[in-house]
Amino acid sequence: MSKKILVTGGTGFIGSHTVIELLESGYEVVIYDNLSNSSSIVIDRMRLIAGFSLKGPIPLTFVHGDIRDKEKLVTLFSNHSFDCVMHFAGLKSVGDSVKKPLEYYNNNIVGTISLCEVMAEANVKSLVFSSSATVYGKEAQVPYQESMPIGNTTNPYGTSKAIIEKTLTDLTNADPQWTVAMLRYFNPIGAHKSGLIGEDPKGVPNNLIPYICQVAVGKLKEVSIFGADYPTADGTGVRDYIHVVDLAKGHLNALDKIQLVEKETGKGTFIWNLGTGCGSSVLEVIKAFELVTATKIPYKIEKRRPGDLASCWANVEKSHKELNWSTDFDLQAMVQDSWNWQRNNPHGYE
């Protein structure tokens, strides 16, 4: 009998790609999502992709709901017997969080506490949490290692993730029946090779690659580069870009690892970086995009955004060693898949 995984936020960019990997690995999946930053069309696309490799009915169920709605969560857990929860649901824009801190704290922190309370009542105490490299904060030295202190964050989004990490650590210390994997993402880009699912931000994109893509298809005039005076090789910000499929596969490795831990040695909290271990600047990404698409990408230099760091990339030795995981896609392949998605879906899912 296949194991059943609850995926909160499973219609989002990272969640949807992880759902595909789960289905193709033989798991039954239930998605719980309020569709606040995604589309129900994704569900049909995921079924279509999974149908390429799976025979028979696709073991995928969708439930519309908000993680802050405890009554609905209680009903969900009474209707299903879950082996683990993968928790992606949450607001995720750094810039937006600076403008709307209360919204981010309410959605991300209160929502996670609500979810964990219902999980505890249902005796489902296995969790893979979608965290972020933003928890390391402005004092951390690159490359970021999991053992570094966290919490000196530069924006409410990062602060919300750091508070959730602390909450989950306290939870596992208080109740040793819990097993929690906290995955600190770097900068996911790319899209599924089919071009059927990808990143589809609502309104003007906050992230670099969707912005470049929308300039390339003519939806936006030019790319805004926020800061060209950082202490980096070309003055623009440096980030660790990771293909979303590599990132999704990291979640399955983490799931395998905590299931093994539960069988062998007991419970606990585990933290892993998911990145490539190297950084690329904004201008390098634009040049890679121009190379792949043979399209000139116009850009203009703007002042720095509040909350942004100069450089950010991962030390990935721990995840390589403990999860037996590594990335397969280089920057050019990531950009190619992002462009394939955007070219096939110039207006996203709508």
Task: State the average pLDDT for the chain.
Answer: 95
Which residues pair with residue 183 across a beta bridge?
130, 272
Antiparallel, parallel or unpaired: β 4-8 and 84-87? parallel
More reliable by pLDDT, 264 or 270: 270
Residue 170, CB-side half-sphere exposure with 13 Å CA sphere? 8
SS3 percent helix, strand, coil of the chain, rounded to 5, is 40, 20, 40
306 pLDDT higher than 90: no
pLDDT band at 264 (very low <50, low <70, confident <90, very high): confident
Contacts of 203 (CB under 8 A, 6+ apart): none
178 pLDDT higher than 90: yes
Q: What is the pLDDT of residue 43?
A: 98
**Average pLDDT of the residues in 195-199:** 97
Q: What is the rounded end-to-end Cα distance, in angstroms, of the chain?
A: 37
Q: Which of 27, 157, 211, 230 does the annotation list as catalytic?
A: 157
Q: What is the pLDDT of residue 38?
A: 94
Helix (H) or strand (E) holding 239, with range, is strand 238-239
Return the closest-CA partner of residue 257 out of 271, 274, 277, 275. Answer: 271
Active site residue 349: no
63 φ/ψ angles, rounded to the nearest 5 degrees: -125, 125
1 pLDDT higher than 80: no
Distances (CA, A) of 47 to 41, 194, 338, 344: 10, 13, 21, 18
Return the closest-CA partner of residue 196 out of 1, 39, 27, 6. Answer: 39
Scored b (16 or more CB within 10 A) or e, 269-281 reads bbbbbbbbbebbb
pLDDT band at 128 (very low <50, low <70, confident <90, very high): very high
73 within 8 A of 115, measured Cβ to Cβ: yes
Distances (CA, A) of 126 to 14, 67, 193, 254, 274: 20, 17, 30, 11, 19
Antiparallel, parallel or unpaired: β 60-64 and 28-33? parallel
282 pLDDT higher than 80: yes
Q: What size, in residues, is the chain?
A: 350
Q: How far apart are CA 41 and CA 48, in angstroms?
A: 11
244 pLDDT higher than 90: yes
Contacts of 316 (CB under 8 A, 6+ apart): 273, 274, 275, 276, 277, 326
18-66 confidence digits (pLDDT tens): 999 999 999 999 999 999 999 999 999 999 999 999 988 999 999 999 9
328 pLDDT higher than 80: yes
Q: In what order do the strands lie in the sheet with 238-239?
A: 280-281, 238-239, 311-312
| Domains of the chain and CATH, by start | 4-344 (3.40.50.720)
